Structures are given as structure tokens and as C-alpha cells.
Amino acid sequence: MAHDLLWPGTHRAGELMSDPALLRAMVRVEAAWLAELVAAGVAPPDAADDLAGLVDGGDVAQVAAAAEAGGNPVIPLLGLLRTRLAARNPAAATWVHRGLTSQDVLDTALALGAADVVARLRAELRAQVALLSALADAHRGTVMVARTLTQHAVPTTFGAKAAGWLHGVLDAAESLAACAGLPVQIGGAAGTLAASAELAALRGSADPAGAAIELAARTAERLGLRAAPPWHTARAPVARLGDALVACTDACGRIANDVLTLARPEIGELGEPRAPGRGGSSAMPHKVNPVLSVLVRRAALAAPHGAAALHTAAADARDERPDGAWHLEWATLRTLARRTVVAASQTAELLGGLRVDVERMRATARGAAPAILAEWRDLRDAAGAPGLAEDLAEDPARYLGATDALIDAALSRARDLEEPP
């Protein structure tokens, strides 16, 4: 999972949402629920067991192969846990998973994995914000040509361009922050909490329904997730997370696209950070390809399709557990999450070593005058303003509008970015 020949850079996501990580997360969910059953007196004290050491990464292949029979990996995992618990703790083997269903375990495990992804992405975005803030401030006076519909438009500054990138990253950070409190999924067989309520009733609870809801809430707290009503077929949490991930790749893609354009040899205003062996060609020794930007753009083009699949699955949910739509979410969400982490990491590296050719920018702007000042001259003529000396009339720095104030606004917004809890 840490490597993928056909998606270069996957190693940057490490073990986030990998098969071993998700297997561990599912065991965490089972252990947390069992602990709360014991703590609430629903399960007997001798059923206490942290489930440690029962399953590890070496079991992934067995669980994955056996998952086909039941349609999800929780069923064979539970079989392993009960078999291995039987010798160590027969009471725990009897009580593990009581009151849960497969969807509870898998959805909550994916939420745990996604929480790790969100934390990593927020760190990557904070790094991008710091780098972009420095670029915007340092280059507020670096005049360059603004381009619209691929053509020269009016003068701008590279600081203003970096400030525009910064707003995009801040927008993504806000979308991601809204997903920081991912929900636990505990509903039982059909989202009614019937089994856990019945177990509480059998133990003499005066309020079985309240006890079942409390069990779910305490499990959420133990796992560091948000307590929530069952959402077996109300898939907004997954779709919302997908949208936030795409907001991240959108912001990264915008930066990459500008770098790809401005790094063209005939423009030469920006360059990627140099690294040994990076950007080479198998056939052309002279080439230094902007591979970081290429790979980030790849992720930005692919990501919306993943989010669309998650929305399709949400729209197709039915009954009390979706028949195929739910199953579609798992790999889609993991792929989208890991690729977003990769793109964010590559973008942070790109910005950290971005080469800005200030003189080339200024020379291009000077060379494009007086054409890029046509609007300015037209406005002055319409207002009856007096003419200017030729050298002044062709100075692109004379027509920068509110760029300084706009840069300051972006920097102020960046300073207000919420720090992680």
C-alpha cells in the first residue's frame, strides 16, 4: 500500500488507511465497544479484553480473501478474533461484537483512518499557508504580466498571484476543518440499537434505550470520534469528507497549473525545486520536466471523479443498509484520501523550493508594454487626464490597482487560520 507503480508518490501517504492500518482500526472499534459493554455492566467483568496481539498485518491476506464470502472484511476478522480469544478469554470471545453489526465496525474504522488523514492534511495545508504567505509578502512588488484566456491582460505582481493561491489553500483548510469531528457509527443490525438496548434491559436497566445511546456515545469518546445517531444510509459524512478532499486537490491543482505554464522555457518565470534525478527523460538528456506539478495536476484531475462516486453512492443508498453503494465507498474513499495527502505533500515541497525569476517577470512585463497598459490609457483618455511622458506611460508598475491591499487581506486571513487542537 505504501507503494504503487502506477501512482508515483504514493509512498508519501505512508500507512494512512492502508490494509494493515484499517485492520488495526477495526480491532480498535471492537475493543472499544467491548470495553464499554463491560464498563456499563452489560457484559460481565471477565469479558474485559483489549484484544491486543490477536490480529496483525500478517492476517490481511487471509481476511481479504475470506471477505468475499460475506461481502465485507469484518465478518472474517470477527471469526479470527473469536477463535483466538477462545483460548485466552472465553468470556471475551462470547461478548466481542455483541450489539454491533459489520457496518458499524467498518464505517467507524474508516472514520478513524480518515481522522488520521485529515490531521495530516491540515498539517500539510498549514505548511503551504506559511510558504505562500512568505511568497506573497516577498514579491508584492515583483511586477509580472497577468494572463487571461492564455493571453497577456494587464500588469499584476507575483505577490498578488501567490495571494490568490493562498486564498485557495485557506478555502480548502476551512472545508477540511469542518470534517475534523468525524462521527462514530453504532446502530446495530438495522440502525435501531435494538441489540444493545435489549442487552441493557436484560441487565436490569430502567432506561434501555438511553443506555444503548450512552454506550454508543461513550464508545465514540473512547475512540476520539464524535457521537452521532446511526447513519447507515444517511451518507452525508462520507460525501462531505470527499468534497473537502477535492477542495484540497483543487487548491493544489491551481498552483500546479500556474507553475506548469510559467515554467515553460519560452516563459521561464517560475521553476520547480531542483533535486538529483528529478525531471529527467528516458530519451532526452537535456530535459528537466516539472514533475511535481505534473503529478499534482494528475491528482487534481482525478479527485472529482472520486467525490462524484461518493455522492452517487449516497444518492443510491436504500433500505437500512445499501446493497452495493456502501461497498463502493470503501476503496473510493481510501484512494481519494491517500492521493490527496500525496498531492498536498508534493505541493508543499513545490512551494518550499519554488524558483521565482524576478528579472524575467519584469522583463516580460516591460516587453508587453504598452499593450498591457491599453486599459489604463483608455481610462485616462475617457476621464480627460493629461498625457504622461513616454517612459512613464509604458511602466507596468503604474497600473497595479489594489494589489498591496489584496495581498494584506490574504495575509491577514492566513494569520487567523485556526491552529490544530
What local confidence, expressed as pLDDT, does residue 418 receive? 57
Q: What would the mean pLDDT of 8-13 be, rounded to a whole number?
A: 95
Q: Give per-residue pLDDT as tens, 38-68.
A: 999 999 999 999 999 999 999 999 999 999 9
Structural domain includes residue 252:
yes
In a 10 Å sphere around its CB, with 0-12 CB exposed, 13-18 middle and 19+ buried, how is residue 3 labelled?
A: exposed
8 Å CB contact between 17 and 304: no
Q: Give per-residue pLDDT as tens, 88-124.
A: 999 999 999 999 999 999 999 999 999 999 999 999 9
CA 230 to chain centroid, in Å, comes to 24
256 vs 116: CA distance, rounded Å:
25
Distances (CA, A) of 326 to 99, 142, 241: 20, 51, 15
Residues ≥6 apart with Cβ < 8 Å to 113: 16, 17, 21, 22, 25, 334, 337
Grade residue 283 by pLDDT with cuts at 50, 70 and 90: low
User: What is the value of pTM for the model shown?
Assistant: 0.95
Q: Give per-residue pLDDT as tens, 257-276.
A: 999 999 999 999 999 998 88
What local confidence, expressed as pLDDT, does residue 278 receive? 77
**DSSP string for 332-348:** HHHHHHHHHHHHHHHHH
Q: What would the mean pLDDT of 343-350 be, rounded to a whole number?
A: 98
CA 78 to chain centroid, in Å, comes to 30
18 vs 315: CA distance, rounded Å:
27
The CATH number assigned to the domain holding 268 equals 1.20.200.10
8 Å CB contact between 302 and 335: no
Q: Is the pLDDT of residue 7 over 70?
A: yes
181 vs 398: CA distance, rounded Å:
48
Range of the domain at 367: 101-185+230-421
Structural domain includes residue 118:
yes
Among residues 96, 99, 71, 318, which one has the least CA distance to residue 188? 99
Q: What would the mean pLDDT of 336-354 be, rounded to a whole number?
A: 98
Among residues 53, 112, 107, which one has the least CA distance to residue 80? 53
Q: Give per-residue pLDDT as tens, 139-183.
A: 999 999 999 999 999 999 999 999 999 999 999 999 999 998 899
171 vs 189: CA distance, rounded Å:
39
Amino acid at 147: R
Cell of residue 384, nine digits: 480627460
Q: Which residues pair with 143 in a beta bridge?
A: 157
**DSSP string for 187-238:** -TTTTS-HHHHHHHHHTT-S-HHHHHHHHHHHHHHHHT-B-----SS--HHH
Structural domain includes residue 79:
no
What local confidence, expressed as pLDDT, does residue 199 receive? 96
**Torsion over CA: 262, 265, 270, 276 (sign):** positive
Structural domain includes residue 407:
yes
Grade residue 3 by pLDDT with cuts at 50, 70 and 90: confident
From 154-158, 235-239, 274-278, 335-339, the region with the lowest mean pLDDT: 274-278
What local confidence, expressed as pLDDT, does residue 1 receive? 59
Residue 271, H or E segment: strand 270-271
**C-alpha atoms less than 13 angstroms from C-alpha of 386 in its C-beta half-sphere:** 2
Structural domain includes residue 111:
yes
88 vs 225: CA distance, rounded Å:
29
What local confidence, expressed as pLDDT, does residue 419 receive? 53
Structural domain includes residue 61:
no
Cell of residue 245, nine digits: 478532499
Grade residue 346 by pLDDT with cuts at 50, 70 and 90: very high
What local confidence, expressed as pLDDT, does residue 280 receive? 65
Cell of residue 124, nine digits: 500539510
Query: Catalytic site residues?
Result: 281, 321
What local confidence, expressed as pLDDT, does residue 421 receive? 44
> If you average pLDDT over every residue of the chain, what do you get?
95
The total of structural domains in the chain comes to 1
Structural domain includes residue 66:
no
Q: Give per-residue pLDDT as tens, 23-38.
A: 999 999 999 999 999 9
Structural domain includes residue 142:
yes
